[in-house]
Structure 1
Amino acid sequence: MSTASDFIREEIAQQLSQVAAFAAAGSAQAQVGNDHALAFEVRCAAAALIAVASLVEHLRPSRQQRGERAA
């Protein structure tokens, strides 16, 4: 049975694949000297990575789940 965390991990995996694809495309653009396309790929990679960072927060246990007092 899949849990919500499983679905989040699947989405993170897909997003990280996108980050890798944007990074590879950006690297190729850098090698051929296409600065406009390079900037585009870097911005796309950054946006996808920010989305991943946000999703990862949903996987962190809350303070109360770790036995700490909530602030």
Structure 2
Amino acid sequence: MRSVEAVYRWAFDEIGFHRLDIQHSVGNHASCKVAGQSGFALEGMLRQAIRHADGWHDWHVHGRIRTDR
């Protein structure tokens, strides 16, 4: 989680981004946990948005904006 925090602080403070998002397969519970604990709000799900070897998977979208601090 410290690496995620370092990247979003750099992106907001040094680069000047307004918004960042994290996307991951719905079945990837570890990524979901890291996103949530890093302050990225779960914003929704994209149905069958990514194809893996075993077929199409739903995709979570988490977002964080500069003012979320």
Superposition TM-score, scaled by structure 1 size: 0.29
Superposition TM-score, scaled by structure 2 size: 0.29
Structure with greater strand share of residues: 2
